[in-house]
Amino acid sequence: MVTTRISGKDTKAWAQKLASFDGFVFIAAEYNHGPGAALKNAIDFVYRKWNNKAAGFVSYGSAGGVRAVEHLRGVMAEIQVADVRAQVTFSLFQDFENFHVLRPTERHEAALKTMLDQLVVWSGALKPLRQV
């Protein structure tokens, strides 16, 4: 069995990087109706640096990754991140060639713009809370 240890130095660097952002776009694959373990672990590793920021989601999977995002929305609430309503979803069956190469259609462009617009607004609205 191979284990990976993350040092305190790595955690501090990760926390500092998160602190530099006002909002986040999470890209989530769906595995067994939830997000991947690596993404969940990265979120769980720090707490305060996420607080009072905004998040948007891009997801993919057999059902567009919506179940992974549904799970992540609950996680975001717990770490005090305001998640925006709009999201971008990609179906492995319709938006990928041979389940491997992403081939998005034009309809995704509008969804992405809406999600990013909401993210910018919410990130700005929450800024005063981060300055307390």
pLDDT tens, 73-107? 999 999 999 999 999 999 989 888 988 898 888 88
Neighbours of 130 (CB within 10 A): 12
pLDDT for position 31 = 93
- CATH superfamily to which 23-130 belongs: Flavodoxin domain (3.40.50.360)
* pLDDT tens-digit series, residues 66-81: 999 999 999 999 999 9
In order, the DSSP letters of 34-53 are EE-HHHHHHHHT-SGGGTTE
CA distances (Å), origin 45, targets 66, 68, 91, 118: 23, 19, 29, 26
* pLDDT tens-digit series, residues 9-56: 888 898 999 999 999 999 999 999 999 999 999 999 888 999 999 999
What is d(CA 35, CA 37) in angstroms, rounded to the nearest whole number?
A: 7
